[in-house]
Amino acid sequence: MKGIGRDFMQKTQYDYLEPSDQTMGLPQPPLFDEPDPDREQFDLPDPSGLHLPPVDLVQLITDRRTLRRYADDPISPAELSTLLWCTQGVKRVTGRPSTQRTVPSAGARHAFETYLLFNRVEGFDPGLYHYLSGEHRLEAVDLESTIADRITESALSQKQVQASAVTFLWVADVYRMAWRYGERGYRYLHLDAGHVCQNLYLIAEALGCGVCAIAAYDDEGINTLLGLDGETRFVIYVATVGKK
């Protein structure tokens, strides 16, 4: 079997890799995006303030399933805060420096930024937001009334995007990973996306929500909507969330 996928797996083997920028002594990129001073920012509740009843992890994994239809109920700021904390929360910044977070990442690179389409989140206008993981806050990106329609269309018109309470859009910052691993870092970006989305599935299940992971979307269209160049930064995974 021949094709681009096979070439990718072959050419990202260690035998083909050149020295990474880290090994060449180049400075590492920022650990996370800083706030945009031109955007309105919003505080999030402390995620430790949401007291969930004890859960059986094996039962949680057993009960988890993909859901594409949701109730009309909104999610609360406390629930949103918990979803974000459990998928990209920064526990501490080490002296390396690196971030230790609530999900694993190759070499602790944590090369994702989280964008969110709000349809029904209490206390927030519908629109596109960005999670400031270093501060556990939000900033508004696009509150135009058509943004949900446009993102849904870019997701190949999958109705669960517009029906969700919130849709997560994870953006890969390539150099944050490639600085350490070079071309092989592309493999790790996709592995890390799986770690993050699985955490979303599990914490959403504990909150009485359902999730639908989405990998079928118009790459160019969705990247354009988020202001990404599609090369150094691109949407790597999407997931809708809503109350059961």
190-202 residue pLDDT tens: 999 999 999 999 9
Predicted confidence (pLDDT) at residue 2 exceeds the cutoff of 80: no
Looking at residue 53, its pLDDT comes to 85
Q: Report the SS3 class of residue 10.
A: helix
Domain boundaries, the chain: 40-243
What is the overall mean pLDDT for the chain? 96
Burial of residue 203 (number of CB atoms within 10 Å: 0-12, 13-18, 19+)? buried
CATH 3.40.109.10 holds for 40-243: yes
The per-residue pLDDT for 120 is: 98
Distances (CA, A) of 65 to 103, 183, 200, 204: 20, 34, 12, 11
Q: State residue 125's pLDDT score.
A: 98
pLDDT class of 1 with cuts at 50, 70, 90: low
Residue 214 pLDDT > 70, yes or no? yes
| Whole-number Å distance between alpha carbons of 37 and 132 | 12
Query: Which range, of 10-19, 43-52, 104-113, 215-224, averages the lowest pLDDT?
Result: 43-52
pLDDT attached to residue 178: 98
Nearest residue to 113 (alpha-carbon basis) of 134, 92, 83 = 134
Strand order from edge to edge, sheet including 127-132: 41-43, 137-142, 127-132, 112-118, 166-173, 233-243, 209-214
Average pLDDT over residues 109-123: 98
SS3 of residue 193 by DSSP: helix
* CA distance linking residue 141 with residue 132, whole number of Å: 12
pLDDT band at 171 (very low <50, low <70, confident <90, very high): very high
Confidence tier at 159 by pLDDT (50, 70, 90):
very high
Instruction: Please state the rounded mean pLDDT for residues 237-244.
Output: 98
- Predicted confidence band at 48 (pLDDT cuts at 50, 70, 90)? confident
Token representation of residue 85: 């904390």
Separate counts of helices (H) and strands (E) for the chain? 8, 9
Checking if the pLDDT of 52 tops 90, the result is no
* pTM (2 d.p.): 0.96
